[in-house]
Amino acid sequence: MSGELRRSARAVQEALDAAGFELEVVELPASTRTAREAAEAIGCSVAQIAKSIVFRALDSGEPVLVIASGVNRIDETAISALVGEPIGQAKPDFVREATGFVIGGVPPCGHVRPISTFLDEDLLALDEIWAAAGTPHAVFRLTSDQLRELTGGTVIAVGGQS
């Protein structure tokens, strides 16, 4: 299947394969750019969508990735405290430069450089989750244990439901 994928989705499949995971990236005809769109396209709950949000640390300029349940709002003040400096929403060009992917398609792995990553504890309580896979139409299914192993991220409470 990976030979049929668009370049960015194929890069995610290759990163998953290189990490030793037997997970399959699929491209869908419907958009998966937002958590709600992804849930509708996949046929799962919004809570099962692992949304990847990239922030920019305002002092150091470093990227910070938060992977949260699709129903949760991220508390930027709490993330700032964990990072040790204020953070702000990252602009599209910054996200692409830091990860190699566009907003709406940022996967939890396969980035062009290492990124400080935080994982939503609510997301990790679910048996099956879905993550973006490089484009706003590509996703892959995984377990919370696989997400934790794949990213090496720090598990935190990201905030409340939106």
Over the stretch 118-153, which tens digit does the pLDDT of each residue have? Answer: 999 999 999 999 999 999 999 999 999 999 999 999
CA distances from 66 to 2, 20, 77, 137 (A): 26, 23, 13, 20
Token pair, residue 119, equals 């994982």
Contact 64, 87 (CB under 8 A): yes
Residue ranges in the chain modelled with pLDDT below 50: 1-3
Cα–Cα separations (whole angstroms), residue 63 to 10, 14, 85, 112, 123: 23, 23, 12, 12, 21
Q: How many CA atoms lie within 13 A of 124 on its CB side?
A: 20
| pLDDT for residue 4 | 86
Cα distance from N-terminal residue to C-terminal residue, the chain: 36
Looking at the whole model, is its pTM more than 0.85? yes
> What phi and psi values does residue 154 have, to the nearest 5 degrees?
-85, 125
Domains and CATH numbers, the chain: 2-156 (3.90.960.10)
